[in-house]
Amino acid sequence: MDRPDAAPETDEQLRRRLSPMQYHCTQEAGTEQAFTGEYWDEKQAGTYRCVACGVALFDSDTKYDSGTGWPSFWEPVAEGLVDNHQDTSRGMVRTEVTCTSCSAHLGHVFPDGPQPTGRRYCMNSACLTLDPRDA
């Protein structure tokens, strides 16, 4: 799916196109249960795109096993593709990550990731789609 230049979808169009879990995670800032998402243990090479708008966000070269049960990356494919916002929901202070292009909730970023960035972008599989790369 490649929708970066497409007109924004209405809420009703998103509800029809996305699965209930994809809609819940991207539009209602939901979280899928750990170790249940499609990509938490995915090893295939490729580009991870926003499921809502199709923008390329993360590359498999920066994906690593964080042991958390969610797909984790140490950086986006380029600066400016994701926005960070303070999230104080559920009695915690965290940094929410959203897609800059469509504002879809993706997950959270934490300062406990590997070098070279030290960041752990902990994303919901439901918010991503994998565009496989030929090996």
Query: What is the DSSP track for 92-125?
Result: --EEEEEETTT--EEEEEES---TTT--EEEE-G
Whether residue 122 lies in the annotated active site:
yes
- pLDDT tens digits, 4-41: 455 678 889 999 999 999 999 999 999 999 999 999 99
Kindly indicate the confidence band of residue 2, based on its pLDDT and cuts at 50, 70 and 90: very low
CA distances from 57 to 4, 13, 48, 88 (A): 12, 22, 6, 24
Stretch 94-117: mean pLDDT, rounded? 95
> How deeply is 95 buried, as exposed, middle or buried, from its count of CB atoms within 10 A (0-12, 13-18, 19+)?
middle
Q: How much is the pTM?
A: 0.90
Query: Rounded to whole angstroms, how far apart are CA atoms 132 and 59?
Result: 10
- pLDDT tens digits, 50-72: 999 999 999 999 999 999 999 99
- Residue 82's beta-bridge partner residues? 99
Q: What is the CATH number of domain 38-132?
A: 2.170.150.20
Q: Which of 25, 50, 53, 122 is catalytic?
A: 122
Query: Rounded to whole angstroms, how far apart are CA atoms 53 and 71?
Result: 19
Q: Cβ neighbours of residue 26 under 8 Å, at least 6 residues apart?
A: 14, 18, 50, 51, 52, 104, 105, 106, 126, 127
- pLDDT tens digits, 76-90: 999 999 999 998 888
